[in-house]
Amino acid sequence: MSKIISIHSFRGGTGKSNTTSSLAVLLASEGRRVGVIDTDIQSPGIHVLFGLRPDDIKRSLNDYLWGNCTIEQAAVDVTGNLKTADGGPGVGTGKVFLIPSSMKAGEIARILREGMNVDLLRDGLRRVVQELALDVLLIDTHPGLNEETLLSIALSNALVVIMRPDQQDFQGTVVTVEVARKLGVKRMMILVNKNPRTLDPADVKTQVEQTYKCEVAAVLPHADEMMDLGSASVFALRYPNHPITLMLKKLADSLMA
Amino acid sequence: MIRLDTTTANLLAALSRLRTGLDHLDANSHKIVHALKNAKVEAPADPAQDLRKLREDLEAVEQSVKALTLRLERSQELISTSALLTSTLESSQVLDKVIDTVIKLSGAERAYLMLREAGSDDLTVQAARNYDKETISPEEASFSKGMVNTAIEKREIVLSTNATADVRFADLDSVMDYTLRSVLVIPMILREEVIGVLYADNRMKDGQFKKELLPLMTAFASQAAIAIENARLFSQIRADLDAAKSEVRSLRIQIDPDHAEREISDIIEGDFFKRLQDLARRSGDTAEPESSSTSQS
């Protein structure tokens, strides 16, 4: 059965797109058909990680929402862009499709002005899973809790909330977790990202679990390699044996279990 | 580096050949003087005196070469010792190397390395080994504290060729109790401060340590002091680094529950949210919405 998984954080800069792209690669490397939809329509960016330049994006989620195309027509098969460090195929027999948001400033302004038709988005999310025969659809959400994000969460089988051990994230995450509970999300996990070396990950895990009464999937350390990569590639592809990749692999397996 | 063994051997062999030549010359001159006497010819001068003077000069040169060779050998030992001491920053290894080198350079039976603790005048034995590089236990340790104190107070080497007969130490019980013979105590001075002493002795043999040894041992003690200080600093830096690494902060999660409650209410009280709840309820994979269960601290 297909799954819809939302990857969300209350604030920007938590590493949401990096995490989503790595999860997509790790899920696809098991032979799955994986869709990634960028609903961060105000500040899109995940396409960069999948090797797409703005000019490569002919149709986008915006076009679908304005009735210019079907949702599956907005999907781009990025599997060929996913290469291992030595240039080999990155996801084996799996497939990764990206439904990008528009990078054009005018189109971003228009969607901000007119708002997003959440009913269309709901239909699109369901349709793309069927039309592309996806095993899993990952939704890279917009930070905060706007209507699109709430819809994504409501339609998801699982929600991964990413937070940093940061005071502003603590406050925002409690709102996200509580609202998601009220929407009846079946499975919710917190992923603590960019944990500094000075914080004991086991202690962080315990404290976050106790505070939010929510499973902590992993506490990912701050990694210089991630900074060095600078969104030039998917982390799990560039560093397949890095501890962060191995922790994300466990999370991917857990999400599909 | 000069190959002292071959250079010295060549020089001494050349001097030996000169002496042999001198012997031949001496013997022949005797024969010539004797023949001249038989021929009733008076020799203009007796060459024996000149030859004797030449022989004395040759012997003096030979002694000088040997003395120079010894000094060169010790200088080379000092250079190799310096390299040895700086080859490690592990404190225990440095201390053992210092002790073994003291024994090697001086021919001591035993050697002790004593250091002052930071901010204290008290000395503690940091390493003690014998000629066979075996560690001397604290129970076996037997040295003259009085001689050590003398070296520290005077900031100079204390050398005794036979301590039991040395009037300078006649009132030291330890000298008699341990029947100390050859004793050498060298203060280790770093930046004008005595950081410790090197103590070497030989309880079986008088006169083990010669005065000629002192410049070498003084130079070595200076090197050893630097090596020990470097190892100590390295150890301190590593300890500080480990402490910094292990100084893990504890996470403090602070949440404003009233603020969170207001934000949640703003979101869930609208019609849109109720529609979403219905949508979620109709979806087969979502659970029933829960009531608030987040703990806030």
ipTM for the assembly: 0.84
Which of A48-57, A206-215, B194-203 shows the lowest mean pLDDT across its residues? A48-57
Span B126-184, pLDDT tens digits: 999 998 989 999 888 889 999 999 999 999 999 999 998 899 988 888 888 888 899 99
Question: CA-to-CA distance for A143 and B235, rounded, in angstroms?
Answer: 48
Spell out the residues 6+ positions from residue A211 whose beta carbon is closer than 8 angstroms to its own: A170, A174, B253, B255, B294, B295, B296, B297
pLDDT of residue B293: 40
Span A174-211, pLDDT tens digits: 999 999 999 988 899 999 999 988 888 999 999 999 99
Q: Which of B247, B256, B261, B286 best probes binding to A when mutated, by most A CB atoms within 10 angstroms?
A: B286
Which of B30-34, B46-50, B94-98, B263-267 shows the lowest mean pLDDT across its residues? B46-50
The answer to whether B125 and B210 have CB atoms below 8 angstroms apart is no
Question: Residue A213 pLDDT > 90, yes or no?
Answer: yes
Spatial CA neighbour of B113 closest among B206, B200, B240, B209: B200
A150·B273 Cβ contact <8 A: yes
Spell out the residues 6+ positions from residue B128 whose beta carbon is closer than 8 angstroms to its own: B99, B110, B111, B112, B113, B135, B136, B141
**Confidence bin at B286 (pLDDT 50/70/90):** very low
Question: CA-to-CA distance for B266 and B84, rounded, in angstroms?
Answer: 75
Q: Provide mean pLDDT across the span B240-246.
A: 77
% of chain A beyond a pLDDT of 90? 63
Determine the 3-state secondary structure of B55 from DSSP.
Answer: helix
What angle do helix axes A243-256 and A16-28 make, rounded to 10 degrees?
70
**Confidence bin at B294 (pLDDT 50/70/90):** very low
Spatial CA neighbour of B175 closest among B211, B201, B157: B201
End-to-end Cα spacing for chain B: 74
Q: Which two tokens stand for residue A103?
A: 């990078």
Q: Which two tokens stand for residue B46?
A: 């007796």
Spatial CA neighbour of A76 closest among A6, A132, A4: A132
Which of A15-29, A56-70, B62-76 shows the lowest mean pLDDT across its residues? B62-76
Question: CA-to-CA distance for A189 and B208, rounded, in angstroms?
Answer: 79
pLDDT of residue B248: 64
Chain mean pLDDT for chain B: 84
| DSSP bridge pairs for B201 | B110, B183
Give phi and psi for A59, each to the nearest 5.
-130, 150
Chain B residues contacting A via beta carbons under 8 Å = 245, 247-251, 253-256, 259-260, 263-264, 267-268, 272-273, 276-277, 279-281, 283, 285-290, 292-297
Q: Which two tokens stand for residue B227?
A: 């090596």
The pTM for the full model equals 0.57
| DSSP bridge pairs for A191 | A162, A218
pLDDT of residue B17: 92
pLDDT of residue B40: 86
Span B11-46, pLDDT tens digits: 888 988 998 998 898 888 888 888 888 888 877 777
B279·A155 Cβ contact <8 A: yes
Q: Provide mean pLDDT across the span A23-51.
A: 92
B280·A184 Cβ contact <8 A: yes
E strands in B6-133? 110-116, 123-130
A200·B253 Cβ contact <8 A: no
Instruction: Using CA coordinates, name the residue in chain A closest to B297.
Output: A211
Question: CA-to-CA distance for B149 and B197, rounded, in angstroms?
Answer: 9
pLDDT of residue B3: 59
A181·B293 Cβ contact <8 A: yes
Which of A15-24, A110-119, A194-203, B219-228 shows the lowest mean pLDDT across its residues? A110-119
Which of A106-120, B17-31, B260-274 shows the lowest mean pLDDT across its residues? A106-120
As a 3-state breakdown, chain B gives helix, strand, coil percent values, each rounded to 5, of 60, 15, 30
E strands in A87-186? 95-99, 136-140, 158-163
Question: CA-to-CA distance for B190 and B180, rounded, in angstroms?
Answer: 29
Question: CA-to-CA distance for B110 and B103, rounded, in angstroms?
Answer: 7
Give the strands of the sheet with A33-38, arranged side by side.
Answer: A76-77, A95-99, A33-38, A136-140, A3-8, A158-163, A187-195, A215-221
pLDDT of residue A21: 95
Give me the residue from A118, A179, A186 closest to B286, CB to CB. A186
Give phi and psi for B273, each to the nearest 5.
-65, -35
A151·B276 Cβ contact <8 A: yes
Q: Which two tokens stand for residue B89?
A: 């920053």
Give phi and psi for B166, each to the nearest 5.
-85, 115
**Structure letter (DSSP) for residue B89:** -
Question: Residue B289 pLDDT > 50, yes or no?
Answer: no
Spell out the residues 6+ positions from residue B290 whose beta carbon is closer than 8 angstroms to its own: A181, A182, A184
Kindly provide the b/e burial profile for residues A123-147, where b requires at least 16 CB atoms within 10 angstroms of the residue's own CB. Answer: ebbbebbeebebbbbbbbbbbebbb
Q: Which residue has the higher pLDDT, A61 or A105?
A: A61
**Structure letter (DSSP) for residue A89:** B
Question: Residue B108 pLDDT > 90, yes or no?
Answer: yes
The answer to whether B175 and B162 have CB atoms below 8 angstroms apart is no
